[in-house]
């Protein structure tokens, strides 16, 4: 048992987050995302929303300062933006390098990028087009 780490973060996910280096990417897939067929490493977080997972992971995970975007999202095809995206912006903006623009890419490009990501976290997020990719940065302050 460790202190200060959310119970939503499994030992497997904690290990993977620690293994990741600067520039490695992690995908948080919604409940419809084909996680098993588009991942090098798959972590199940069934029953948890992507926003809850972000709230748990971001205190441990430095966002990348070296890119022009905070996160990568899957294009939803126009119309009304998925409601969860505003929540992502709110959560990510609380962290260094979390208040940049978002890169929105077509579905095939998102799938291709997910296949190259270090890890895919399969969540129970039920909102459509909620898939999110973030890129790990460097720890710049050591306490």
Query: Domain with 103 in it: what CATH number?
Result: 3.40.1650.10
Residue 126 located in a structural domain: yes
In a domain, 52, yes or no: yes
- What is the predicted pLDDT for the residue at 108? 97
Q: Is residue 15 part of a domain?
A: no
pLDDT of res. 104: 97
Residue 39, judged by CB atoms within 10 A of its CB (0-12, 13-18, 19+), counts as: buried
Residue 4 lies in a domain: no
Cβ–Cβ < 8 Å for 103, 75: no
Q: 143 pLDDT exceeds 60? A: no
Each residue of 61-103: pLDDT tens digit? 999 999 999 999 999 988 889 999 999 999 999 999 999 999 9
Q: Look at residue 51 and tell me whether its pLDDT is greater than 90.
A: yes
Residue 125 lies in a domain: yes
Is 10 among the domain residues? Answer: no
pLDDT at 107 over 70: yes
Count of the separate structural domains present in the chain: 1
| Domain annotation covers residue 16 | no
Q: Confirm whether 48 is a catalytic residue.
A: no
Nearest in space to 85 (alpha carbons), one of 53, 50, 41, 45: 50
Residue ranges making up the domain that contains 97: 24-135
pTM: 0.95
Task: Indicate whether 140 pLDDT > 80.
Answer: no
Active-site option among 12, 19, 22, 47:
22
Do the domain assignments include residue 1?
A: no
DSSP-assigned states of every residue in 71-83 = EEEE---SSSPPT
């Amino acid at each position: 048992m460790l202190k200060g780490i959310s119970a939503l973060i499994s030992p497997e996910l904690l290990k993977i987050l620690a293994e990741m280096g600067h520039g490695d990417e992690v995908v948080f897939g919604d409940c419809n995302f084909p996680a098993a067929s588009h991942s090098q490493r798959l972590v199940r977080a069934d029953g948890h929303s992507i926003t809850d997972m972000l709230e748990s992971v971001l205190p441990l995970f430095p966002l990348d300062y070296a890119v022009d975007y905070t996160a990568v999202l899957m294009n939803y095809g126009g119309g009304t933006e998925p409601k969860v995206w505003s929540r992502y912006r709110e959560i990510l903006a609380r962290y260094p390098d979390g208040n940049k623009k978002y890169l929105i890419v077509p579905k095939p490009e998102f799938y291709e990028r997910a296949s190259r990501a270090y890890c895919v976290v399969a969540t129970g997020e039920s909102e459509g087009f909620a898939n999110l990719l973030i890129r790990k940065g460097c720890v710049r302050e050591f306490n």
